[in-house]
Amino acid sequence: MSHPPSSPLLELQNISLSFKGVKAITDLSFAVAPGEICALIGPNGAGKSSLLNIINGVYRPQSGLIRFDRVEQRSMRPHAAAELGIARTFQNIALFKGMSVLDNVLTGRNLKRRSSWIEQALRVGRAAGEDDRQRAAAERVIEFLRIQPWRDAIVGRLPYGLQKRVELARALAAEPRLLLLDEPMAGMNAEEKAEMSRFIVEVNREYGTTVVLIEHDIGVVMGISDHVVVLDYGRKIGDGPPGEVRRDPEVIAAYLGTRH
Amino acid sequence: MLYQEAGQFSTRYADDRRLFRLRQDRLGLALLLAFAFGAVPFLGNDYWFSAILIPFLVLSLAGLGLNLLTGYAGQLSLGSAAFMAVGAFAAYNFELRVAGLPLLASFLLGGVVAALVALLFGLPSLRIKGFYLIVSTLAAQFFVQWALTKFSWFSNDNPSGVITAPKLEILGADFGSPAGRYLLTLGVVAALFWLGHNLVRSELGRNWMAVRDMDTAAAVIGIPLLKTKLLAFALSGFFLGIAGALWAFTYLGTVEPHGFDLNRSFQVLFIVIIGGLGSILGNFLGAAFIVLFPLLLSNLAGLLPAGLIDAGQLENLQKIVFGALIIAFLIKEPEGLARLWRRLRERARLWPLRY
Amino acid sequence: MEFFFEVLIGGLLAGVMYSLVAIGFVLIYKASGVFNFAQGAMVLFAALTFVSLLERGVPFWLAFLITLTTMVALALLIERAVLRPLVNLSPITLFMATLGLSYMIEGFAQALWGAQVHGLELGISDEPLEVGGMLLSQFDLFAAGTAAALVALLALLFNKTRIGLSLRAVADDPLAALAVGIRLQRIWAVVWAVAGFVGLVAGLLWGARLGVQFSLSLVVLKALPVLIIGGFTSIGGAIAGGLIVGAAEKLAEVYLGPFVGGGIENWFPYVLAMLFLLVRPAGLFGERAIERV
């Protein structure tokens, strides 16, 4: 995807966000083309997570525009974002800790339900057949991410690396058009990172899912992304293909520190 | 080996979805129901029906009602008794004012009115989280009790707000005897537990647990928070309302608003804590404990020389032991009696081997 | 208009009494994150112990001292037997534990001292006092004065002593406090002991007002809406909340009560607190946390 198509899937225009007067993001604009893997990089506190929170409506920016699939919005709402097909994972895993892996993945499919809660409670109407279809879809994701052995385990008791994978499974279960990943490989060893990278690339290739991810490991970022956006102190300081961004003097300064 | 699950594979998703997956569990439940419906009415005596079995069943149902809201959806409530009261007084008024209304229909309508009231007091739950929410449920508790006492219309102008159960009759059959009241209660409670069990395993049940475990993440994956929370309040109110109607009609016969005071709410909460938050079975275990424990204690006190412990001291003692047990449970077994039961079952799976 | 002010000031003064109970709550919540439902039972226990000692001929100050010692011992016991094993559990679990605790303390207090009503005479006449044309209760004025003194004392404790500094550190960030060598358990014990002292003062005033009896433990239900309006973490909030609830409750009873048949003081503060929450979900003085995900 070296030539972005004419209309981006996601476009942010002049976004600004502040908390009680402290600026987190200042006048930021960038676009994500359909089908690409876009990496957001930058030092800690650069506003990367806040940006994801704006894209799926957890935070509402003070100013700016979001355009998703050509529909313009002042700000998102989490529920509306999910309905548009935006799924995400969190920096500090946000799984439902008291539930099994399977149940967690099934919650990811809640928007695909058509039967009402009354039908489900009384086990009539559309409920039964739909249960099977939902289960089958969830099982496909579980198989894809190779977490079958832990299907019935309570999520809170699983090791960290697996929890990260279950969270990705829950996001994928929604069959998203845009997948937001907040440090999917944080705290992983090289082998686990390689595995997770492979999953992300496979999702992108097989289902054409557009991915926006935050990652600190520059090697991984350069390896899997089509497009890199660099943030520093809430401003964009770099935007382009990985090879180009890596040579940008301003980016190098922000990352390695300028010698004064 | 008694409790062998090897060889019982689910080959279809539908098998996994059944009420109980294991053959032993299904058989056990069938036997238990057959015993409860077929044998107990002949074996039990009036004392057992009126003082133990009926309150046990009704309190189990009340526990289920609160468990949906607190154990599954994670919304703490101290207003359970208020919703029970609404159910009882609503059922009474429907029965009184609608000529020829079947008894079961008045239970159902009582539950629906309680659900609506619970829904109303659940409205702040979208904006108010955690402890702050108990203000809303306590408001329900005090407001309902006040309204039922203040406006005598609710009790058909009885000066002290007392209501009396109508004749317990379904399709011409009289359920007025202790055994009849037991059977009626059992039937209603069994049907509602089937419903409750389905609910917590459905999409809605998963959404409740998702909201309980982390509501921000739940919103992000598209779970509608307001609808999910309000349904938890409404359905909890529905179950509690029917429990209240049973409490008034099949257990006590006459009841006043004061019978549904804050202490009753605490009682229901204790059932849920002792039995196990987020467990269906736990409601029965907790209710059995709450009903049997005071009897056990007073029997024990009866063994002591007469006059050593008077009724007042017995009540104090009961409070101390109860409080201590609550704390002990929270420390040693936060998942309640239901967890102990599961461990026992694990043992049975291996018995007579140790591993 | 004069009548209005009389009702208002009477309400404000009554509100001070609610604040007294609420302050004990705030202390414990700030330091240990526990929503202590047993505060009411502690008030009852303190008052019952004190009055029973008086009735057995123990002089006032000695009785006060013995009761205070008992409350401190109770606090240490609670810290050791209840809080320590429950550390790291969810706030809702801790809250339910304090429910159990309140059952235990109530049962124990009555098993020890009996269930009858005791009169408590603090030597303050309840003669109304005329101030600027309005009739005010002397007792209420005394209670307000006591509350003010108590708050001043607490402010000194928190702002001028080492233990106060540690306490503020714990309230701010328990993990960081632990990391710099503050002993959490000691802080908890101190805070529960101070809350016991506050409970004793509240118990004496409430006991003198209502008689020392079981219903004293129900003052906790009055303190709840106060806390919710004021926020769980602010002593100033507890005072302001108490004043608001006291005044609103009296005004509502006088001006609204007749239309709905009276007796609304049980639920009115809760509905008021609910309305407050809808506007300010973390209370009047509570900080609303930014959600981080």
Distance CA C108, CA C114 (A): 10
Of A95, A87, A200, nearest to A150 by C-alpha is A95
| pLDDT higher than threshold 80 for residue B18 | no
Interface A-C: count of C-beta contacts within 8 A: 9
**Spatial distance between the Cα atoms of C101 and C85, rounded to a whole number of angstroms:** 14
Which residue is closest to B314 within chain C, CA to CA?
C111
C188 within 8 A of C79, measured Cβ to Cβ: yes
| Mean of per-residue pLDDT scores for chain A | 89
Average pLDDT, stretch B199-222? 93
Residue range C2-27, pLDDT digits in tens: 788 888 888 888 888 888 888 888 88
Q: Where are the alpha helices (DSSP H) in chain A?
A: 48-55, 78-84, 101-107, 117-122, 127-144, 160-173, 190-207, 218-224, 242-247, 249-256
Q: Closest by alpha carbon to B23, among B9, B39, B38?
A: B9
Rounded CA separation A6/A33 (Å): 8
Q: Kindly state the DSSP code that residue C232 receives in the 8-state scheme.
A: T
Establish if B127 touches chain C: CB-CB under 8 angstroms.
Answer: yes
**With 80 as the cut, is the pLDDT of residue B305 above it?**
no
Mutate to test the interface with C, among B127, B133, B146 (most CBs of C within 10 A): B146
pLDDT tens-digit readout, B115-164: 999 999 999 887 777 777 888 999 999 999 999 988 888 988 888 788 98
Torsion A8-A14-A17-A23 (CA) sign: positive
Does the pLDDT at position A2 exceed 50?
no
| C-alpha to C-alpha distance for C247 and C242, rounded to whole angstroms | 8
Q: What's the pLDDT band for B323 if we cut at 50, 70, 90?
A: very high
> Whole-angstrom Cα distance, residue C208 to residue C139?
9
Task: Decide if A53 and C290 are in contact by the 8 Å CB cutoff.
Answer: no
Instruction: Assess B146–C contact: CB distance below 8 Å, yes or no.
Output: yes
What are the tens digits of pLDDT across the range A239-252? 999 989 888 888 88
Over residues B255-259, the mean pLDDT reads 92
Q: In this complex, is the C-beta atom of A55 within 8 Å of any C-beta atom belonging to chain B?
A: no
Residue C289 has pLDDT above 60, yes or no: no
Which of A157-161, B73-77, B323-327, C180-184 is predicted least confidently? C180-184
- In the predicted structure, residue B330 carries a pLDDT above the cut 70: yes
- Percentage of chain C beyond pLDDT 90 is 20
The residues near A97 (Cβ < 8 Å, ≥ 6 apart) are: A154, A155, A156, B213, B214
Considering only CA atoms, which of C121, C85, C82, C104 is closest in space to residue C212? C121
CB contact under 8 A, C293 and B217: yes
Contact A127, A120 (CB under 8 A): yes
Q: Which chains touch B (3 or more CB pairs under 8 A)?
A: A, C
Say if residue A17's pLDDT is above 90: yes
Write down the pLDDT at residue B6: 63
What H or E segment, with its residue span, contains residue A86? strand A86-89
Residue B130: its pLDDT value, please? 73
Q: How confident is the model at residue A128 (pLDDT cuts 50, 70, 90)?
A: confident
Could you say which DSSP state residue A183 is in? S
pLDDT for B180-200, tens place per residue? Answer: 999 999 999 999 999 999 999
From residue A242, how far is each of A32, A36, A41 by CA, in Å?
Answer: 14, 12, 11
pLDDT higher at B174 or B5: B174
Cβ neighbour number for residue B11 with a 10 Å cutoff: 7
pLDDT at residue number A177: 95
Contact residues, chain A, for C290 at CB < 8 Å: 19
Domains of chain A, first to last:
1-85+176-260 (3.40.50.300), 100-175 (no CATH)
Burial of B127 (0-12, 13-18, 19+ CB in 10 A): middle
Of the two residues A106 and B304, the one the predictor is more confident about is A106
Of the pLDDT bands very low, low, confident and very high (cuts 50, 70, 90), residue A260 is: very low
Distance from C-alpha of A218 to C-alpha of A228, rounded to nearest angstrom: 10
Please, what is the average pLDDT of chain C? 84
pLDDT greater than 90 at residue B166: no
B11/A contact by beta carbon, under 8 A? no
Determine the pLDDT at residue B355. Answer: 60
Whether residue A245 contacts residue A228, with contact meaning beta carbons closer than 8 Å, is answered with yes
Cα(C101)–Cα(A150) distance, integer angstroms: 40
Instruction: Supply φ then ψ for residue B292, to 5 degrees.
Output: -80, -30
Question: Hey, which CATH number is domain B42-350, 1.10.3470, 1.10.287, 3.30.70, 2.60.40?
Answer: 1.10.3470
**To which H or E segment does residue C9 belong?**
helix C2-32
pLDDT at residue A1 in the model:
45
Using CA atoms, how far apart are residues B304 and B291, in angstroms rounded to an integer? 22
Residue A25: DSSP 8-state: E
Count of Cβ atoms closer than 10 Å to residue C23 Cβ: 28
Q: Which other chains touch chain A, taking contact as 3+ CB pairs less than 8 Å apart?
A: B, C
Could you tell me the pLDDT band of residue A259, with boundaries at 50, 70 and 90?
very low
Does the pLDDT of residue C281 top 90, yes or no? no
Structure tokens at A189: 């060893």
Euclidean distance between CA atoms B131 and C293, whole angstroms: 21
Contact list, A56 vs chain B (CB under 8 Å): 220
pLDDT at residue A257 in the model: 57
Say whether residue B139 is in contact with chain C using an 8 A CB cutoff. Answer: yes
What residues in B contact C233, CB-CB < 8 Å? none
Q: Which of C47, C45, C28 is nearest to C37 (CA)?
A: C28
Are C291 and A19 within 8 A, CB to CB?
no
- Give DSSP secondary structure letters for B31-91: HHHHIIIIIHHHH--HHIIIIIIHHHHHHHHHHHHHIIIIIIT----S-HHHHHHHHHHHH
Q: Which of helix, strand or coil describes residue A31?
A: strand
pLDDT computed for residue A240 by the predictor: 92
Residues 6+ apart with CB under 8 A from C71: C42, C45, C46, C193, C196, C197, C199, C200
Q: Which amino acid is at C176?
A: A
Using the Cβ of A94 and the Cβ atoms of chain C, whether some distance falls under 8 Å is answered with: yes
Closest CA to A225 of A185, A174, A256: A185
In a domain, C284, yes or no: no
- Looking at residue C259, which CATH number applies to its domain? 1.10.3470
Answer yes or no: is C37 within a domain: yes
pLDDT tens for each residue of B19-72: 666 777 788 889 999 999 988 888 889 899 999 999 999 999 999 999 999 999
Mean pLDDT over A70-86 rounds to 89
Q: Nearest CA to CA, how far is A12 from chain B (Å)?
A: 19
Beta bridge partners of A39: A213, A228
Q: Which of B203, B212, B221 sits opposite A170 (nearest CB)?
A: B221
Amino acid C175: pLDDT:
79
Domain hosting C182: range is 2-279
Q: Which amino acid is at A64?
A: G
The tokens describing C70, both together, are 């008992």
Condensed to tens digits (0 to 9), the pLDDT of residues C80-102 reads 898 888 887 878 788 889 999 99
CB C122 within 8 A of CB C208: yes
Quote the number of domains for chain C.
1
The structure tokens listed for A133 are: 């279809």
Rounded CA separation A6/C208 (Å): 81
Which pLDDT belongs to residue B100? 87
Contact B49, B182 (CB under 8 A): yes
- Report whether A96 contacts A103 (CB < 8 A): yes
Within-domain flag for C226: yes
Handedness of CA C105, C109, C111, C117 (dihedral sign): negative
Query: Residue C146 above 90 pLDDT?
Result: no
User: For residue B322, which of C99, C112, C78 has the smallest C-alpha distance?
Assistant: C99
Sorting pLDDT into bands at 50, 70 and 90, what band is B225?
very high
Q: DSSP label at C287?
A: P
Cβ-defined contact of C293 to A91 (cutoff 8 Å): yes
CA distances B139 to A172, B147, B242, C182, C243, Å, are 42, 12, 21, 40, 19
Q: How confident is the model at residue A84 (pLDDT cuts 50, 70, 90)?
A: very high
Tokens 């990260």, located at residue: A164
Nearest to B185 by CA among B330, B59, B327: B59
**Helical (H) or strand (E) element with A12:** strand A10-19
Please give the helix or strand (H or E) that residue C129 lies within, else none. Answer: strand C128-131
d(C-alpha C181, C-alpha B339), whole Å: 38
Helix (H) or strand (E) holding C199: helix C184-210
ipTM confidence: 0.88
In angstroms, rounded to a whole number, what is the distance separating the alpha carbons of residues B288 and B300? 18
Any domain includes C59: yes
Residue C35 half-sphere exposure toward CB, CA atoms < 13 A: 23
Is pLDDT at A210 greater than 90 in this prediction?
yes
The angle at the Cα of B335, spanning B229 to B118, to the nearest 5 degrees, equals: 25
What does pTM read for this prediction?
A: 0.90
Mean pLDDT of chain B: 89
> B5: pLDDT confidence band, cut at 50, 70 and 90?
low
- Rounded Cα gap, residues C283 and A66, in angstroms: 33
Question: Residue C50: inside a domain, yes or no?
Answer: yes
Please identify among residues 66-95 of chain A the ones whose CB lies closer than 8 Å to any CB of chain B: 78-79, 81-83, 87-88, 90, 94-95
- The pLDDT score that the predictor gives to residue B301 is 80
